Amino acid sequence: MDRNTLLAFFLIAIVLIFTPMYMETFSPSPEPAIVEDTGLDSTHGLPIGKKPNATKTVKQKPEVFQLTSPTKADLEEKLIELETNLYNATVSTKGGGSIVSFSFKNYFDQDSQQVNLINGINKENLSIRFQNLDGDPINLGKNWSYNGFLGGSINSKETLKFSTEISPGQFITKSLTFRPDSYVIDISVDAQKVQSQVFSGNYSIGWYGGLPPTEKNEKDDFVYFKSYVFQGGELEEVKIKEGETESQSFNGSTDWVAIRTKYFITSLVPNNPGQVTSAAIGGSFSDREAYDMELLLPASDISNISLYLGPLEYDRIKNIGQDLDRVMNFGIAPVRPLAKGVLWVLKKMHDIIPNYGYILILFAFFVKLLVYPLTKKSYQSTTAMQQIQPEITALKEKHKNNPQKLNTATMQLYKEKGVNPLGGCLPMLLQMPLLFALFVVFRTTIELRAEPFVFWITDLSAPDAVYTLPFSVPIYGSHVAILPVLMVVSMFIQQRMMSGGAAQQPQQKTMQYFMTGFFFLMFNSFPSGLNLYYTLFNVLTIAQQKLIPPTDTASV
């Protein structure tokens, strides 16, 4: 490389280094406004797939939406601490009343700490967003002026009032109203004075970052993570997979939007669904699942919205109205009424008996009495089929070359003996909706969450694990539980009794062992409350089979 080339590179370096300094000295750029990156979707403004702390620089518009004085922009953050009969909450003046802490008095995590639904990801909740007439997003995440309740214990309805000045004499106001015995927080937003400066005349209010996992078994908790929108009697949902990002917008009247976990929910329910211009739900999955929801509302009217932030307790959800209880999964249509009935019975029993473990024992007795006629019919029919099995075998040998005669002879034998070949199946099929209802209720009902029974059973909503393995087995999991062992033992004994001690075909034995092993693997991950119920139900069935006369086979 010659001298001229070296000199050229040196001069280029000088230019690159000193040009920015020259431009800054003689032509300084305006101070950029830093706003939180909302990752606005072009259709509805729902943030998707963005990290909560990401920022971007946008060009400032000095003539539009300027605060009237530096003191308004530099307001100090105030934290209002509230205590109700149900929860402790902290509300910040940032964003005009965002909830920065919300911990329950009656629900605890695995470390015996109060469950807190607010973490570092979803602190931007109840935020208001809109665009100016040029289509630029306006940052309302600063601290707002505040007056109202100063904090402390709430014994009656209390209101927190926030306001921010967008331009001289033009304010947006927002208020949050709390009650001592309710998880519902009433939100009122008045943006009428700034409507002429709002692009398309609409602003959005939303909840971003979803809810945090609250259960020890996070994998099971994440199964229920979703966002929902309910419009015109139709329920739509968004469920994302790892690495995915998705958002959906729905125009028109909206009954509610919601984000749920296994046991908790946050939902925005407008008092006037017809006032909603559109709704949006979405989410992203990078480190974990995070869901968003928002409502688009007209700035020309005062908007009143109910926020439900709390547990998925059916009665509370149902009382809100607007079919918000549709967010709770009670199974398919035939199962749904039964599941709700089972839940109602369990809760009524809990008013008298404080321990859900004993309630499940009594409930198993109650269900066994209820289905006794069906199980009796099934057992007697099975016994009758076993008694005529030698005759059926003889017919098969006699007519092995004539299937039509075999079928006719077999049906004639059933008629002579008064045996219904479907008698053992139909009673069990009639019980299936009830069994599915029990499964749904025991697995997803918050009433059983963290409820202890006796000895090693400390949480009826979780497996009764007594040892954790250093590895995980497909289906089985990574823990050792006792109740699944007792359940499959009782199931195996019941199957042996159903066979009546008769010689079984090798295929029947293989299937019996396979089903026992499969149920053991599957039930090991089921809640201990469910396994407790099934185990006791099997024991009662065994006792019933001992008591039913096997010779009483008439008309079966």
202 and 289 housed in the same domain: yes
Residues 6+ apart with CB under 8 A from 412: none
Report the pLDDT value the prediction gives residue 523, as an integer from 0 to 100: 87
- Structure token pair of residue 375: 């199980």
- The model's pTM: 0.77
Residues 6+ apart with CB under 8 A from 475: 521, 522, 524, 525
420 and 307 housed in the same domain: no
- Structure token pair of residue 263: 């046991």
Furthest-apart CA atoms within the chain: distance in Å = 116
CATH of residue 63: 2.70.98.90
Report the pLDDT value the prediction gives residue 120, as an integer from 0 to 100: 81
> Domain range spanning residue 514?
336-547
Does the residue 542 lie in any domain? yes
Does the residue 127 lie in any domain? yes
Given 327, 352, 376, the domain boundary residue is: 327
Sign of CA dihedral 521, 527, 530, 534: positive
255 and 343 housed in the same domain: no
173 and 308 housed in the same domain: yes
User: 251, 233, 298, 308: which is closest to 272 by C-alpha?
Assistant: 298
Given 327, 350, 383, the domain boundary residue is: 327
Question: How many Å apart are CA 493 and CA 544, to the nearest integer?
Answer: 13
Report the pLDDT value the prediction gives residue 553, as an integer from 0 to 100: 43
Does the residue 49 lie in any domain? no
Domains in the chain, number? 2
Beta-bridge partner residues of 128 = 205
Scan for tokens 């069994």, then name that residue: 435
- Structure token pair of residue 556: 């079966």
Does the residue 148 lie in any domain? yes
User: 261, 271, 268, 267: which is closest to 302 by C-alpha?
Assistant: 271
Does the residue 1 lie in any domain? no
370 and 318 housed in the same domain: no
Given 271, 300, 327, the domain boundary residue is: 327
Beta-bridge partner residues of 108 = 114
Could you tell me if 165 and 67 are in contact, meaning their C-beta atoms sit under 8 angstroms apart?
Answer: yes
Does the residue 207 lie in any domain? yes
Q: What is the pLDDT along the chain (556 residues), one digit of tens a residue?
A: 444 433 443 444 444 334 444 333 333 433 333 333 333 343 334 543 333 333 322 223 322 223 233 344 458 889 999 999 999 999 999 989 999 999 999 999 888 899 999 988 898 899 899 888 888 888 788 889 998 788 899 999 999 999 998 888 888 999 999 999 999 999 999 999 888 888 888 999 999 999 999 988 888 889 999 999 999 899 999 999 888 899 999 999 999 999 999 999 999 999 999 999 999 999 998 888 899 999 999 999 999 999 999 999 999 999 998 899 999 988 888 888 889 999 999 999 999 999 999 999 999 898 888 888 777 777 777 777 777 778 878 888 877 787 887 888 888 877 777 777 666 566 566 667 877 888 888 888 898 888 889 889 988 988 888 888 887 777 777 888 999 999 889 888 877 776 655 555 666 677 777 888 888 888 888 888 889 998 998 898 888 877 766 554 444 4
Sign of CA dihedral 110, 113, 118, 120: negative
Report the pLDDT value the prediction gives residue 424, as an integer from 0 to 100: 58
423 and 319 housed in the same domain: no
Could you tell me if 240 and 283 are in contact, meaning their C-beta atoms sit under 8 angstroms apart?
Answer: yes
Say how far residue 341 (Cα) sits from the centre of its chain.
21
420 φ, ψ (degrees, to nearest 5): -105, 115
Ordered alpha helix ranges (H), 27-114: 70-73
Cα–Cα distances in angstroms (integers) from residue 86 to residues 118, 158, 242, 545, in the given order: 16, 15, 35, 48
Q: DSSP string covering 171-213, please?
A: EEEEEEEE-TT-SEEEEEEE-GGGGGGSGGGEEEEEE-S----
Report the pLDDT value the prediction gives residue 368, as an integer from 0 to 100: 85
Does the residue 38 lie in any domain? no
Question: How many Å apart are CA 262 and CA 448, to the nearest integer?
Answer: 12
DSSP-based three-state secondary structure for 338: helix
Report the pLDDT value the prediction gives residue 399, as an integer from 0 to 100: 78
320 and 437 housed in the same domain: no
240 and 323 housed in the same domain: yes
- Structure token pair of residue 223: 């199964």
75 and 175 housed in the same domain: yes
354 and 305 housed in the same domain: no
307 and 425 housed in the same domain: no
* Residue type at 41 in one-letter notation: D
Sign of CA dihedral 240, 243, 249, 255: positive
Does the residue 40 lie in any domain? no
60 and 185 housed in the same domain: yes
